[in-house]
Structure 1
């Protein structure tokens, strides 16, 4: 059973979450976890070349394969992670999803469990709108959305950190200076595990 985690990360926050999601999914014995990154735009690569920190994060990801349509086709479940861009997913992730026309026409994603996670600069930076709008094309593809229930430890809080029923989240800070809280990463693990559990039930 293949569980695909596909993400985009410029400053490393969604990368950390993706690894936590993968860890959670791997807790299900029959799960084969695949971690993939989204292809960067050439023009953004030029900007990253001028940013020392972003360049370091890019270097950290160089050995993670770029996600392909075949990866999506072969997966039994997919968990998508994107930073927020004005309350929506980043253009790089949208490009990947927009490339799935043949999968949609053939119904190849129908019935597959899916989850979403995101990172924002601020506490009200669009975490919920990003997750909800990420779900829209997945519903068009016929995927089954899996969220995070409030029975999950750490979900109910009033702290400046992440955690939504729509998916795992974290706060990066206006300059990317913050790191995901341990609670955010634990919720990310729960998301990964839940999607893998649902995938196992669907397969059975």
Structure 2
């Protein structure tokens, strides 16, 4: 059985919806076992979420999704990472997970595994591409193989205010989180999951 790990962080639910679409796309590859995991929340942020009804509801929606461990990363044949943008970069929560992988790096346990990325931003130019590009850097240090989104997908070429970059799947959440991923955004997310799983399957031989 080939294991595909989809690991994400989401406070308001937009990245969660992309993660679910990515997982659905990966599951279409024969023999793929998809593991959906969330990253550990910070205690201080949990206290902030306690005071925000919308964020509390999203937190409750994720309670049954296991927290990602280093062993999850170790056992995966391919990994797709998702994080909303914080000033053009991944969240500290996602960075904490990646920073915990020194043992994997020392033993070369992530080398040769395909990796994909997805993100959400409040605005159209809110750092989608910089977030995805900077998330790639530690994955390259780990020896992973970066998988993007090709322009052969019809949803990729557009001039609308929605997501879709060659560096990974994206969506626009709105300044108050009032927007939801467009159907095309979810199509691209599914295609990304499918592509990473397909490549992982081919690499396994």
Provide the alpha-carbon RMSD of the alignment: 0.3
Residue 106 of structure 1 is matched in structure 2 by: 107
Quote how far apart the aligned CAs of 1:153 are.
1.7
Q: Secondary structure at the match of 2:83?
A: strand
Residue 48 of structure 1 is matched in structure 2 by: 49
Structure 2 counterparts to residues 148-159 of structure 1, below 5 A: 148-159=149-160
Structure 2 counterparts to residues 89-128 of structure 1, below 5 A: 89-128=90-129
Residue deviations 1:120-148, cap 9 Å, x none?
00000000000000000000000000000
Residue 39 of structure 1 is matched in structure 2 by: 40
CA distance in 2 between counterparts of 1:66 and 1:196 reads: 21
Quote how far apart the aligned CAs of 1:39 are.
0.3
Q: Secondary structure at the match of 1:83?
A: coil
Q: Does 1:136 align with 2:137?
A: yes
CA distance in 2 between counterparts of 1:153 and 1:91 reads: 33
Quote how far apart the aligned CAs of 1:30 are.
1.0
Structure 2 counterparts to residues 1-204 of structure 1, below 5 A: 1-204=2-205
How many matched pairs?
Answer: 204
Q: Secondary structure at the match of 2:196?
A: helix
Unaligned 5+ segments in structure 1 are none
Residue deviations 1:162-185, cap 9 Å, x none?
000000000000010000000000
TM-score, structure 2 length as denominator? 0.99
Structure 1 segments of 4+ aligned residues over 3 angstroms from their partners: none
